Amino acid sequence: MAYNYLGLVNDVAGRLNETPLAGSNFEVATGFYTTIREAINTAVRDINQRHFQWPFNHQKETLDMEAGVMRYAAPPNMKYVDYSTFRLRRDESLSVARGRPLKELSYSEYLSRFADEEYETDTSKGEQPSYVTQTPDGEIAFAPMPDKAYEVDYEYYSYPVDLIEATDVPNIPERFRNVIIDGAMYHCYMFRDNVEQAGMAFNRFESGLKQMRLLLITDSAYFRGV
């Protein structure tokens, strides 16, 4: 069965002795199918909420600066930004001879050292930024004030997007399909007030999550030569 929203819904429907859906009636099917569709999305959310840095949520972004502008909006789907990954992109036309990492700065130090530059209108007084910080409202701020339209690469972890269309594919790798199904089964059994089966499904879901962490998340420390 295809690994998409329709396939996942039919996996759950099959386990519950419900008639499988087709692409033609997927969106219009009501009743318990509505519960199954929501259970799939809830299970995907549950998985994503268990860890901030699942590798399948990793994203790379390029931010285009404007001369004289120090604060920029973060991506709308951003969950966590890795501020150690910010680096100016190499561009010899902007006198950036090689990619250069930016140093993370606390917001209080940013205000202490660079707040006045936010009011500067003469962009010729700016320079290549060397620092980056996160503002309290989630924006990304650079300092000193950029004098040119530099490009910055950085990496972040995103929130999941709900599945809507029958052909939508979750960003969770297919080999963990069973974890999504077990999570959805838990919610469906709870809807039916079948506490015993819900408990069994939840235990399978928790076991699957532990296996995902073992396979995908490396928590061991390492040392790098200077």
Mean pLDDT computed over every residue of the chain: 93
What token pair was written down for 81? 């930004």
Confidence of residue 218 (pLDDT cuts 50, 70, 90): low
DSSP string, 72-126: EPPPTTEEEEEEEEEEEPPBGGGTB-S-EEPEE--HHHHHHHHGGGGG---GGG-
CA-closest candidate to residue 182, choices 190, 216, 167: 190
Structure token pair of residue 101 = 């990492």
Domain residues of the chain, as ranges? 5-53+172-216, 57-158
pLDDT (mean) for 105-120 = 96
Place of tokens 């924006």: 139
What is the reported pTM? 0.81
Average pLDDT over residues 37-54: 93
Amino acid 53: pLDDT: 87
* Per-residue model confidence as pLDDT tens digits over 140-182: 999 999 999 999 999 999 988 899 999 999 999 999 999 999 9
Please give the DSSP secondary-structure letter assigned to residue 138: S
- Find out whether 80 and 154 touch, Cβ atoms under 8 Å: no
Average pLDDT over residues 198-213: 96
Question: How many angstroms from the chain centroid is the CA of residue 158?
Answer: 1
End-to-end Cα distance, the chain = 50
- Mean pLDDT, range 37-59, rounded to an integer: 94
Q: Provide the pLDDT confidence category of residue 219 given band limits of 50, 70 and 90.
A: low
Q: What is the mean predicted confidence (pLDDT) over 65-69?
A: 97
Tens digits of per-residue pLDDT, 180-197?
999 999 999 999 999 999
Q: What is the pLDDT of residue 188?
A: 98
Kindly state the helix (H) or strand (E) to which residue 203 belongs, with its residue range: helix 195-216
Is the predicted pLDDT of residue 223 greater than 70, yes or no? no
Given a cut of 60, is residue 91 above it in pLDDT?
yes
Residue 78 CA to residue 156 CA, distance in Å, equals: 7
